[in-house]
Chains A and B, each alone.
Chain A
Amino acid sequence: MSFVGVTNVWQRYGDRSILERVNVSVDEGEFVSIVGASGCGKSTFLRMLLAEESPYKGDISIEGGDTAVEPNRERGVVFQKYSVFPHLSVRENLIAAEAFQNPLGTLRGSARKNAETRADAMLERIGLNHVLHQFPASLSGGMQQRLAIGQAMTAKPRILLLDEPFGALDPGTRLQMHDFLLELREETNMTVFMVTHDLDEAFKLGDRVLVFDKPRWDPQDPGLFGATITYDFDARDKGIPYQDILAAYPSLASA
């Protein structure tokens, strides 16, 4: 039984097909990079994994569960921007990751104290302990994204979804963020889906690289067919790409 199973998923908006016949199964702890042309539906795929929207048809399950109907604590997310709360200080942003699940969204007494201790440990971990009382707007882009990742991790999700998390960062900061993310992964063995436009990044960070593209194309009606996963690269071997045909198409093994 795979950890995350995507079975025959389709998505369409009105009469425009965006995705069709998407099948993929991912093991626990795998880091999956997703690449593809702009507008091909990568974010749409991520939104469905997040359960922000439901597939037109098909199923998405975590550990064999049902397709979720709304976002929940099983799925953490970091977007390219707006991923942290501007009105909360750096530390309060982390505490919110524990407090928001309560009926009033707050913590009191010893629960609050414990959350503060854990937040401070996380701040140490993401290298933001010197700015704990500042507000996100005063942080650099890289620091904001570290905070966003730290916040998502604090909620201990089953899967972490990243939509171009480093897309707005300069190349130097981006490299630092790679190291940061790799370390964090080493420690937590989190299952991650990351959309990126940077192929090097995709192969460097990912165990697998999924390529989304349209296998069918109608020049009269570009919206007729949707995109799907056209390549599923194994990226573990130091990023030297080779297509793991048998894993992607097990039916070939018996042929």
Chain B
Amino acid sequence: MSLIEDIFAMRLINYVPSRPGAIFLAALPFILLFVAYSIASDIRLTANPQDKLLPAPSTIVETAERLFTVPDKRSKEILLWNDTFASLGRLFGGVAISATLSLILGIAIGLLPYARSLFSSFIAVMSMVPPLALLPILFIVFGLGEVSKIVLIVIGITPFMTRDLAQRVMEIPNEQIVKAQTLGASSWVVAQRVALPQVLPRLISNVRLSLGSAWLFLIAAEAVASNVGLGYRIFLVRRYLAMDVILTYVIWITLLAFIIDWALKALSRRAFPWMEAGL
């Protein structure tokens, strides 16, 4: 590396882009991806105007407009919105249940030695079970409805979140726990007024980290058995090679995921000012 660095006046680690430079650099990969796609699409379409594999960006925009605004002929409803609400409902349901469960379990494991003995190896083993392998069982046990999809998300992300929250509770300096006791705090007060507020920011960052897997489990479950949902639609239109629809849905899911992530980050920053007091 030093050979390369000799060319520069400073070490590479000390070069920091200016603000406009940083914005340009951030945009660059997106621009490159778009340009590469456009060129590839153009080449294929000139060779064969009927090609469906890489629809032109303009076609995707037209399709997107139609999907977002034009109702389905039979049901008179806009399918994309139906799919979106169904999927988000399942996603939020599953994530909310997981967050609540992992918070309760995590604090119990982190604070109570008895709960730790009881649960920690069980959860460590559970987190190794590949959730998608359980999907058939879930469909058999809970049927093809909403329950099995939500349960899949819960099984998929709860063990990881629980382990991490328990770890974080155990990292709270023992001094604080002892201090609370010298102020007369019961176990319940220690849990609720010392541990809970300090792990809530961690819960939010766990939810942010887990949302990726939650989407994965959701789309997998919808693809296998459903009649509405973003994942269901993508796998349905795959049969007709409707790449324009699939790409619209993929971009839409990405956008939704991005907005949720951004909102959680903003929430965390507003709700926990003490986290940043030291910075």
| Chain A contact residues, CB within 8 Å of chain B | 50, 52, 70-73, 75-77, 79, 81-89, 96-97, 99-106, 134-138, 151-152, 155, 157
Majority SS at the chain B contact face: helix
**CB neighbours of B277 from chain A (8 A):** 86, 134-138
Given contacts A86-B274, A135-B277, A155 and B184 within 8 Å (CB-CB): yes
**CB neighbours of B182 from chain A (8 A):** 50, 71-73, 75-77, 152, 155, 157
Q: Are B186 and A103 in contact (CB under 8 A)?
A: yes
The residue in chain A whose Cβ has the minimal distance to the Cβ of B193 is: A105
Fill in one digit per residue for B157-184: 1 if any A CB lies within 8 Å of its CB, else 0: 0000000000000000101101111111
Q: Are B278 and A137 in contact (CB under 8 A)?
A: yes
| Chain B contact residues, CB within 8 Å of chain A | 173, 175-176, 178-186, 188-189, 192-194, 197-198, 272-274, 277-278
Question: How far is B192's CA from A102's CA once the two chains are assembled, in angstroms?
Answer: 12
Q: Are A71 and B181 in contact (CB under 8 A)?
A: yes
Given contacts A96-B193, A105-B192, A138-B278, A82 and B176 within 8 Å (CB-CB): yes
Q: Are B181 and A70 in contact (CB under 8 A)?
A: yes
Given contacts A104-B189, A137-B278, A138-B278, A82 and B183 within 8 Å (CB-CB): no
Majority SS at the chain A contact face: loop
Question: How far is B137's CA from A145's CA once the two chains are assembled, in angstroms?
Answer: 57
**CB neighbours of B178 from chain A (8 A):** 50, 52, 71, 77
Minimal beta-carbon separation of A226 from chain B (angstroms): 23
Minimal beta-carbon separation of B110 from chain A (angstroms): 16
The residue in chain A whose Cβ has the minimal distance to the Cβ of B201 is: A87
Given contacts A86-B274, A87-B198, A101 and B185 within 8 Å (CB-CB): yes
